[in-house]
Amino acid sequence: MTRLDLTASPVDLCAALVDVPSVSGDEGGLADAVEAALREQAPHLEVLRTGDAVLARTHLGRGDRVLLAGHLDTVPIADNLPSHRDGHLLYGCGTSDMKAGDAAFLHLAGTLPTPRHDLTFVFYDCEEVEAERNGLGRIEREHRDWLVADLAILGEPTNVGVEAGCQGTLRAEISTTGRRAHSARSWLGDNAIHNATPVLQRLAAYTARDVDIDGCVYREGLQAVRIAGGVAGNVVPDACVVTVNFRFAPDRDAAAAEKHVREVFDGFELVITDLSPGALPGLTVPAAAEFIAATGAAPSAKYGWTDVSRFAALGIPALNYGPGDPNLAHTREENVDTRQITEAVGVLRRFLS
């Protein structure tokens, strides 16, 4: 088992984390290493192992509690392990998403025994796959008392800027029908793919909202992401399905997002296949405002869905903050600027100390 040194440079710690493969569903080896390091090097923390997630927390009787969360899993490896360095850049699968954030949190767990906030650290599994496998869901079901805090910081890559809240996401399938016929006698049929034209026209004419919430502007979007139809090269098709994705601002809840999409496609058969609400920025909460002040930068809206939504659903204001460029996540050339790791540790230490 790899031994992790929590007191070492957080950059070296990040490299060590990256060099332990942890593709979703195969995080056991890394979870073993994280658990062993916390038990050995952070005696001030209560440690809990649940599946391939590792949790740790202080019991200092502080007036509030801050939760620092990071997922241990990565997307499949793309010939980008082991890690290697080129100047200030550390390359490897998971460097940006999000072992750099994990390294910052683990370094603080091992080197900050008396923070001024009580702390909870959550290193969890299966974030990069379908939602029902996400380790946070299992923790919520089985260890709900560990997910209590006044502020949650999710270490997703944000180029060490605060990205507040997140968009919600909805997927729906819109079906059109027709009547099969031989393409040589097409007038005897009714082409279901052609009948999807009004769906595409509505999408092309759609005007998305920009919504300002606490100074963060969330841009909505409604897009076709897939069209399925056709039987054979000589058959007029009798069925077609257009899949659409709606990214919505967090001022809409799930019910409002579904209602809006059904109104846009009124008259068509529509089935919702995926729906996750967003999260409001929550910047007026004292702990959140204090953290933003510690960063010295103005927050921006989070485009995309992250697990801050899960914390928001639990009533915990949550922010995305971590080293790494989100545009490099999941790429073959994934890397992190090591100066961002150092900066993130410094900002978090100032806030927590």
Question: Residue 327, SS3?
Answer: helix
DSSP summary character for residue 161: S
Tokens 């192992």 map to which residue? 49
Distance of CA 47 to the CA centre of its chain: 24
Q: Distance between CA atoms of 55 and 53, rounded to whole angstroms?
A: 7
Residues with a catalytic annotation lie at 73, 127
Show the tokens assigned to 127: 């974030």
Q: Distance between CA atoms of 170 and 168, rounded to whole angstroms?
A: 7
Rg over CA atoms, the chain: 23
Q: Backbone dihedral region of 304: left (phi > 0), alpha (psi from -120 to 50 degrees) or beta?
A: left
CB atoms within 10 A of CB 239: 16
Q: Backbone dihedral region of 296: left (phi > 0), alpha (psi from -120 to 50 degrees) or beta?
A: left
